[in-house]
Structure 1
């Protein structure tokens, strides 16, 4: 499928709900809820269902949890290898997005928010990328995730690629930040599946620290 067949319009991303055959959409305060998606006959099921999300915001306006939740949009949920490729092949590539945009791929039922119950006690590995690498790295990390290459049970919650003006940021979220053995295994698997050089800087940040930093930024007063 060539590039012109992919979804190119950001309005389409924001308006896309759930898959047409297996879902029922109800809209309430910009939250979109879907029935559980199932593999069709003859398809190869994933171990977990996954949901694609998209978000975009104005960089100069730090998001509160409420405004962030209103701004994030579900694209669709997949339950099989075939459903994954059908949806993924119609999405723009991260490197083709502009401005302050994010793609998220999370297990069904987990919102890509620090406050979600599945994420609350967790954290994320962060890799900062120079421009031009996001497409390949994003594809590699989500294929490793849906293919269960991390081998850490239910610890993986999802992955995010964040497109910024000077750099792009890749992260993978897990449930339990205090489990150092698991977080180290995730780090090592990331290095392997992304073929990262040994000197690549990787940062682990708990979601509690992210919440605290975001709150401090919002409460900072600037004197002129």
Structure 2
């Protein structure tokens, strides 16, 4: 397996040591992210996805809060990128499942070129659908979601920015980010597709929150 999957293997072997090892790479990660990402090579016999994606990982102490965009970005670790079906499965098959992660841990799957932060240009006018799950459901729901996203099942053009799964103590949370919070028809279609692919009952609670509202509720230095 190539070096870009090295982080994935370390995640599966021991999550704690991975975070410690990757802290030393933080400055290098930031330098890479300042410029456009290099293109992803695809073999001619691979099945190309409509968009290329990047998978990020983050974890923080349950007692701490991110107080600046710099500290939040620094906490993001790039696991790998892919642009074909084969590359996705090569990465995904070596990841730990969300249900095996510790609390206050997140996976962020976003289109290449869009950082998983509110301040990114693609996200500034957008928002996210939030689904809160009882314990035991997150791994299945996350897999169903990302397969639907990669397979363009949402049918909303370029509106989807990415998805996040967040592991917490009492519950787990899945979110889908889109570009245009003011587009009611599009957000409604994302909601309905999300409900379908996650097999949620009609009574399931779903909340839409704009990124502007999210930023207002968090103190940023």
Q: How does 1:134-145 map to 2 (within 5 A)?
A: 134-145=138-149
Aligned to 1:60: 63
- 5+ long unaligned stretches in structure 2: 1-8
Q: 21, 24, 49: which one pairs with 1:46?
A: 49
Change over 3 Å in CA distance of 1:45–1:142 after alignment to 2: same
Q: How far does the alpha carbon of each residue in 1:163-195 deviate from its partner, in whole angstroms, 9 at most, with x for none? A: 001100000000000000000000000111111
TM-score, normalising length from structure 2?
Answer: 0.87
Deviations 1:48-106 (A, max 9, x none): 00000000011222102111100100001000000000000011100100121000100
Aligned to 2:14: 9
Mapped contact 2:56–2:107 kept (Cα < 8 A): yes
2:146 pairs with 1:157: no
Paired positions, count = 206
* Residues 28-43 of structure 1 mapped to structure 2, 5 A cutoff: 28=28, 30-33=30-33, 34-43=37-46
Alpha carbons 2:26, 2:74 under 8 Å: kept: no
TM-score (norm 1): 0.86
> 1:36, CA displacement in angstroms?
1.5
1:211-222 alignment, distance < 5 Å: 211-215=215-219
Query: Helix, strand or coil: the match of 1:86?
Result: helix
1:19 corresponds to which residue? none
- The 3-state SS of whatever aligns with 1:148 is coil
Unaligned runs of 5+ in 1: 17-24, 220-224
Are 1:122 and 1:175, in contact at CA under 8 Å, matched by a contact in 2?
yes
Residue 30 of structure 1: CA displacement? 3.6
CA contact (8 A) 2:153 2:193 kept: yes
Instruction: For residue 197 of structure 1, report the CA deviation from its aligned partner.
Output: 0.3
Within the candidate set 179, 189, 199, 1:195 is matched to 199
Alignment partner, residue 214 of structure 2: 210
Q: Is the 8 A contact 2:127 2:211 kept in 1?
A: yes
Q: Is the 8 A contact 1:157 1:175 kept in 2?
A: yes
Higher helix share: 2
Match of 1:21 in 2: none
Aligned-pair distance for 1:27? Answer: 5.0
